[in-house]
Amino acid sequence: MRMKDAPVYLIPGLGADHRNYPSPWTELPGCVCLDWPEYHGRASMPEVARFMAEAWHIPPGAVLVGSSFGGMLACEMAKFIPVRALILVATSTEGRDFTTTVRMKWLTRVLPLRLVQSFLRGTRSAQELLWGRTATPLVRAVLDSIQMFGSCQAGFYRDMFQAMDTWDGFDATDIRMLRIHGRQDKLVRPPECADLYLEGGHMIAMTQAHECADFVRRWLDSHQLPLVSACG
């Protein structure tokens, strides 16, 4: 199987869903858009990764695309699933690069998340009326992110900051990896060396979907790599 023929699984960020990857992401060959299934297990990255891999039916030989927390999860899956490549967008292989994890871990413990979500859902029409009609790509991404958060599983959202805080990272050197990052990302430190830097922030998968997806498509077309064994 050639790289461009492998199924491409789009793993959303925490508190997001398939809308994390608007068109033209969904036009990638073999694209599979994912949503988070209900989860009530332990808050550790290995356990979450194994549960999600089974729930999503991730096969050997897949290309995993992960944005933010989804990138961490993709890395964790690559420890036990033979993959063809990891494509990391606005994320990192090191938990310490996520600069707001400790703050969010505390904040999600003291805030009534379900009440906040209910409020956001109730004001959706007002949000669209105020900003949605002439929204810039950034404002559109913020509005979509608010709507996605309003319907996410609150307990999962809260517990995953614990998982992120205790993640041991990913240091495999034998897995082909493509990294895309925004130079103005304030939530995840930009890597010293990325394959593509964009003039954007943490939501580049949404705000600059065309640039990201076009780059990924060209990269997949230009690589014909063998299946890489899982780590360990």
Report the CATH number that the domain containing residue 214 is assigned in CATH. 3.40.50.1820
**pLDDT digit string (tens) for 193-212?**
999 999 999 999 999 999 99
Is there a domain that residue 7 lies in?
Answer: yes
In the block, tokens 């991730």 appear at 58
Q: Where in the sequence is the domain holding 189, given as residue range(s)?
A: 3-99+168-222
Is there a domain that residue 179 lies in?
Answer: yes
Measure the CA–CA gap between 32 and 201, rounded to whole angstroms: 25
Structure tokens at 126: 């007002």
Is there a domain that residue 29 lies in?
Answer: yes
Q: Are 166 and 44 in contact (CB under 8 A)?
A: yes
Is there a domain that residue 56 lies in?
Answer: yes
- What does the pLDDT read at residue 228? 52
Is there a domain that residue 149 lies in?
Answer: no
Is there a domain that residue 112 lies in?
Answer: no
**pLDDT digit string (tens) for 64-101?**
999 999 999 999 999 999 999 999 999 999 999 999 99
Is there a domain that residue 26 lies in?
Answer: yes
Q: What is residue 22's DSSP assignment?
A: -
Is there a domain that residue 95 lies in?
Answer: yes
- What does the pLDDT read at residue 127? 73
For residue 180, give the H/E element and its range. Answer: strand 177-182
**DSSP bridge partners of 11:** 66
Domain count, the chain: 1
Residue 15 CA: distances (Å) to CA of 57, 76, 132, 213, 226: 21, 18, 20, 21, 34
What are the backbone dihedrals phi and psi of residue 225, each rounded to the nearest 5 degrees, phi first?
Answer: -110, 150
Measure the CA–CA gap between 148 and 157, rounded to whole angstroms: 12
Question: What are the average pLDDT values for consecutive 10-residue runs of the chain, which has 232 residues?
Answer: 75 97 94 97 96 97 97 97 96 96 94 93 79 76 92 96 96 90 97 95 97 96 62 45
- What does the pLDDT read at residue 4? 58
- What does the pLDDT read at residue 231? 47
